[in-house]
Amino acid sequence: MLVKDEHDVYDLLDSLLRDATQFWDSFYKDHKEKEVPFFCNHVDEHLRKYVENNIIPRGRVLEIGCGNGRNAIYLAKSGFSVTAVDLSKEAISWATQQATLQNVTIEFYCENIFNLKIPNEPFDFIYDSGCFHHLAPHRRITYIQFLQQHLKHNGYFSISAFKEHGKYGGSALSDVQYYIDRSLHGGIGYSEEKLKAIFKSFEEIEIRDMLHNNLRQDEFGLEDFIVCLFNKK
């Protein structure tokens, strides 16, 4: 590969790590036979609170890494206009089937977000439940660029991610070590301090542990996850 610009640098670094599309297609294939915590139909506990407490106003929302569509479907039922993206065709097929069964309208895209071509009209809210911690360190730069491009002024975005040394994942290696090992070791773990540093150009609304005890029957939460909500000023 001849490196000519920053995009070539990103592509070169991507090539050092596993093929994400192939991995996630395999992960979601035959999903009915797998016991995976988030292979459920419940909405994330913090997302429900943001919506029910009117912290997030109804409007256009983009979900990054929608998986089986459980959060996108909740948002559609709650009065949002929903666009949802996942790079796995297996996940999008499952999510589309679920949306049809629930009789909701969602615009689905099967694509890597960094290659996503959608209308330039920005979103009021961007939601990410478990995608960010699977991004290599260099992709934090393009992730923030994506948020700046596709999020309205005064819009919100929320992320749930592995905590460092968590039960389900959360590697705490140095950024350089992931490239030396050519592996993200199942997903990168984050602390409150790291999330504040990465998203320092946004206004912090909250950063806290994801709740996992005493949840409502229609809520989803896991221990050793960290959730956050930011506002674009």
Contacts for 213-217: CB closer than 8 Å, 24+ residues apart: 215/45, 216/45, 216/48, 217/42
pTM value? 0.96
- SS3 at position 52: helix
Domains of the chain from N-terminus onward: 6-231 (3.40.50.150)
pLDDT one-digit tens code per residue, 46-96: 999 999 999 999 999 999 999 999 999 999 999 999 999 999 999 999 999
Residue given tokens 């895209």 in the structure block: 109
- On the question of pLDDT at 112 being above 80, the answer is yes
User: Please, which pLDDT band fits residue 31 given cuts at 50, 70 and 90?
Assistant: confident
- The strand ranges marked E within 56-129 are 60-64, 81-86, 106-110, 123-129
pLDDT one-digit tens code per residue, 133-166: 999 999 999 999 999 999 999 999 999 999 999 9
How far is CA 217 from its chain centroid? 23
